[in-house]
Amino acid sequence: MNKYYKMLDKVLAEGHEQHNKKGDIRYLTNEVMRLDPADLLDIFESHNIARKKLRSELDLFQRGERNTEAYREAGISWWDYCGPILVNSYPTYFERLPRLVERINREKRNSKNYVLFLGETGAESWYAPRA
């Protein structure tokens, strides 16, 4: 059984339940799951999907590729709805992370720092800290 399914089993067996107006969830706290490319392939290869496309997409993603044309050239068209560039993609988040950590360390606030990045808009915000 791969790491992902082991974690799902743990959530189901040991998870805490939360009920609210949006529904019911089961969750764990203080758990970390680290996946390397081999783990991801193990997860996806256990399903009947296009393995060659998956490997290509994973490779492009890990290189930080944001141009949807590059994905299309690899035979992956499901990102076309995003437009020509994956603007709000994980490579974008990872690029901003070092500056954000630097700012948090520099400001040394006594209160907690909450980070929410749902995408680049260019609009000024009162949320602190900004990256």
Ramachandran quadrant class, 43 (left: phi over 0; alpha: psi -120 to 50; beta: rest)? alpha
pLDDT digits (tens, 9 = 90+) for 32-71: 888 888 887 777 777 666 677 778 888 888 888 888 899 8
Query: 26 forms bridges with which residues in the sheet?
Result: 17
Ordered by start, the domain boundaries in the chain are 3-85, 87-131
Provide the pLDDT for residue 111. 63
